[in-house]
Structure 1
Amino acid sequence: MIRKNPIKKGLKEGKSYIGTFAKMTDPSVVELFSLIGFDFFVIDNEHSHMSKETMDHLLRTADISGIVPIVRIRQNNRSMILQSLDGGSLGIMVPETSSRRDVEEMIYNSYYSPIGGRGFSPSHRAAGYGFMDGKEYAGLANEHVMTIAYCETAEALNNLDDMLGVPGLDVMWIGPMDLSQALGVIGDSRHPKVQEAVAHIIERCKAAGVAAGTIAANGEEAKKLLDMGVQFIGLSSDQAMIAYAGKAFMKELKD
């Protein structure tokens, strides 16, 4: 039976959720995410190097642990979306979406008919390897799969309202580091230009009824984003948390 995704419904109700990014390949990381209390995690297939088999192992661990799994793919690619969702991801995150057409393409490839045209097979993992009724599975998949587009380019900023108007979009993710490059201040995500763009995106998301999402480096930053109206926050990553804790331990020793 396909897992239900409480986050998709909760976002529409105005609720907020905190997750993180998985860049490491060990399934125990997913178990730790769940024990820590994260609502979701994102398998990072854009800025890390995971095989499809590894992705499936992390998705299986998510099912056992109860945490909501999302997959960030490398590009707006039909087969990448298909394999992620067929493997059991409850959401798809697509970087570098910069136009209404990009978002429409993502939506079309993420949902079955009548919403979209995702390639249909009732025999993959998410459908219980054929043990589910195919029609029932398609309906549940459309009900629970989350779609997450990106606003991280100058073109996306110009096309933001058109992108937000695409039916079926759940979250508009703000990429502050890529925005810093697009705005001519690469590497400085706290530059006023970037911060103004972030605030603008959040306000346009509110007006469109689409949840805003972005990354936070720490808890304090996450609180500020929540106060601004961001509903879907990726708090750091497995690698960054290890580095943070390790540096803190070494500082304690040296002090």
Structure 2
Amino acid sequence: MTAPRPANDLAATLDDGGVALGVLDNTYSPTLVEFYGELGVDFVWLDFEHGGPDPWDASQLEDLLRAGERTGVELLVRLPDTDPTLVRKALDLGARTVFLPRVDTAEEVRDAVRSARFRYDDDPGDRGLASPRASRWGLADEYVATEDRETLVGVTVETEASVENLDDILAVPELGFVFIGPFDLSVSLGHPGEVDHPEVQEAVETIRSKAVGANVPVGGLGFGMDDVNEKASNGYQLLNLGSTTGALEGAVTEWLDASERDDA
């Protein structure tokens, strides 16, 4: 037998009331995941809903997970569906923190969270017990207790229905966090792309205030560092600073603008 897997530092930060900062890697590169870990971010967000490899493809996800494990950075794995089977698959491959897109009801959230637990809310959970990569192929000691303690399942609140059902969603036992999705929320509310529309902003504030009131960590997008710092002071605990392509655009554009080449 080997020692249990290391603790989920992202889960510990949220549990302690701290703020975690991360980056969306929309190139899905193990090299960049590893590099972000060297830079010291708290998490790397992998969004499998809007891009990237199929999360059912074990080899590609495993390579990304290995890169994160090498530098000790947690992967925030956004799945493309709330299917409990997909949740179990990602966790068995070694993901520790997953979150679900476009949830509408507390029932589907509860089913997904239960699928990530061997024991759930004083009852049996729905996670399968085998010898996958997450258990170091059966070699990890204290596997069941460690996984139940360190696994984090969150949800994206980004539909009108999820806002209407928010109280029930927040009451789901062992819900790890809620992440506010303003862009999809703007579509659901009939104002696509207008994240500053009063109705969208009202919904965003409703989500934030109710999550904070329910003591459920809340996450969101940062629109510049002033916005990140304001949100951190307003109860947000999980904040995305930007994306790989956004960072590259800013750096390369600055280089080109500063060059003295003659384009004439």
> Normalising to structure 2: TM-score of the pair?
0.90
Q: Deviation digits for residues 18-49 of structure 1, max 9, x if unmatched? A: 11222213211012211222101122211113
Q: 2:162 aligns with which of 145, 156, 167?
A: 156
Could you say which structure has the larger radius of gyration?
Answer: 2
Q: Does 1:118 align with 2:127?
A: yes
The residue type paired with residue 180 of structure 2 is I
Distance of 2:257 and 2:157 partners within structure 1: 37
Distance of 1:13 and 1:49 partners within structure 2: 32
Q: Deviation digits for residues 130-157 of structure 1, max 9, x if unmatched? A: 1124xx2011001001111121000011
Aligned residues: 252
How far off is 1:76 after superposition? 0.4
- Tell me which protein shows more helix as a share of its residues: 1
Q: Which moved more, 1:216-225 or 1:73-82?
A: 216-225
* SS of the residue 1:166 aligns to: coil
The residue type paired with residue 205 of structure 1 is A
Distance of 1:102 and 1:216 partners within structure 2: 28
Q: 1:10 aligns with which of 8, 13, 18?
A: 13
Q: CA RMSD in A?
A: 1.7
* SS of the residue 2:153 aligns to: strand
* SS of the residue 1:20 aligns to: strand
> Normalising to structure 1: TM-score of the pair?
0.93
Q: Does 1:75 align with 2:81?
A: yes
Q: Deviation digits for residues 176-206 of structure 1, max 9, x if unmatched? A: 1011112221112122222222111111011
Distance of 1:250 and 1:221 partners within structure 2: 27
Indicate conservation of the 8 Å contact 1:46/1:72, yes or no: yes
Distance of 1:12 and 1:32 partners within structure 2: 26
Indicate conservation of the 8 Å contact 1:73/1:94, yes or no: yes
Stretches of structure 2 lacking an aligned partner (at least 5 in a row): none
Q: Which moved more, 1:153-162 or 1:77-86?
A: 77-86
Q: 1:44 aligns with which of 43, 47, 60?
A: 47
Indicate conservation of the 8 Å contact 1:43/1:55, yes or no: no
Q: Deviation digits for residues 190-227 of structure 1, max 9, x if unmatched? A: 22222222111111011111001111233222112112
Q: 2:71 aligns with which of 65, 77, 92?
A: 65
Distance of 1:210 and 1:22 partners within structure 2: 25
Once the two structures are aligned, what percentage of the paired residues are identical? Answer: 27
Q: 1:172 aligns with which of 173, 178, 181?
A: 178
Indicate conservation of the 8 Å contact 1:20/1:238, yes or no: yes
Q: How does 1:178-189 map to 2 (within 5 A)?
A: 178-189=184-195
Indicate conservation of the 8 Å contact 1:98/1:150, yes or no: no
The residue type paired with residue 120 of structure 1 is L
Q: How does 1:1-255 map to 2 (within 5 A)?
A: 1-51=4-54, 52=57, 53-115=59-121, 116-121=125-130, 123-133=131-141, 136-253=142-259
Indicate conservation of the 8 Å contact 1:88/1:125, yes or no: yes
Q: Deviation digits for residues 72-128 of structure 1, max 9, x if unmatched? A: 11000122211211111111110011111121011111111244211221x111101
The residue type paired with residue 87 of structure 1 is L
